[in-house]
Structure 1
């Protein structure tokens, strides 16, 4: 995973009204129905799951952020009941063609009382060399691209976080 050329890092939290021992983030993420996923954001189009060539579980998410369709190929890298980290080399479809970005999606919960938890939804994206070359070819400075992309990604994360928390709560209490 590339750590330079960060585009955005955003983190938002919301309450889950369920005891910590009932929450299992990987179970929720890999059993999320398409309707449930779509209900967490108007930008969410589709979700599915598969197994990667390395045998790890993958979540395939399709969403549209800032008018650009994205296909995320999330591979499970940390998979604990209260902490899930998924990493993707994601396809982004732009007016000038398809490019890719690195996305890290990190979900965590921590207890705040006997029957309540704090859920945190953290997303970090980085430019690939391919994206940087495409921007350079078009004469678009990376800092300008970053400034345009950040508010869209941050707003998306802020909007979906309470809906993800509610979905995790429903799953935990089913």
Structure 2
């Protein structure tokens, strides 16, 4: 987390969580495999705001998902590095690039995807996204005279709506991948 402030509530921008049903057995679901093999067309199909996706490795060899999307009028390039990779729970952290009309900055995003069985053949998928201001972002906002609380209040509706819209489509995509694995 280069240039990031501690991940605490004072620097948190958004904490958004939504759930959806996956109609597939828990033992067939593998969220990390889904994430790190997700075809770009499938990613784009999960939100009209999604532009591109791919995967690579971080300098330390950890798996990385690269996602490009528009949220709240800003283009974001996310470099999600795997920090937890269980079949039923994937946590990714990214110091993401944010391109705004006022310039480029960074934001720290934690993407937490999990699934739990609710009955045989049906699972609940939860998509939680938390974002935090980096030092670079705080400086960027200060230079523009934008109070952090004002920025947070303006950013939350777009981020929450984005997560709410993509969650059921991610769940459907994970379910299709699980059923293909048979």
The two structures have a TM-score, normalised by structure 2, of: 0.94
Q: Displacement, 1:106?
A: 0.3
Detail structure 1 runs of 4+ shifted over 6 Å in the superposition: none
Matched, 1:130 2:128: no
Partner of 2:116: 110
Quote the Cα distance in structure 2 between the aligned partners of 1:101 and 1:166. 28
Write the deviation string for residues 45-75 of structure 1: whole angstroms up to 9, x where unpaired: 0000001110000000000011110000000
SS of equivalent residue, structure 2 residue 37: coil
Summarize the alignment of residues 77-96 of structure 1 with structure 2, pairs less than 5 Å apart: 77-96=83-102
SS of equivalent residue, structure 1 residue 87: strand
SS of equivalent residue, structure 1 residue 30: helix
Q: Displacement, 1:3?
A: 1.1
Q: Displacement, 1:96?
A: 1.2
Quote the Cα distance in structure 2 between the aligned partners of 1:66 and 1:91. 14
Unmatched segments (≥5 aa) in structure 2: none
Partner of 2:47: 41
SS of equivalent residue, structure 1 residue 69: strand
Write the deviation string for residues 123-173 of structure 1: whole angstroms up to 9, x where unpaired: 000001111111111111000000000000000000000000000000000
Quote the Cα distance in structure 2 between the aligned partners of 1:158 and 1:101. 20
How many pairs are equivalent? 174
Partner of 1:10: 16
The two structures have a TM-score, normalised by structure 1, of: 0.99
Matched, 1:24 2:60: no
Computed over aligned residues only, the root mean square deviation of the Cα atoms, in angstroms, reads 0.7
SS of equivalent residue, structure 1 residue 42: coil
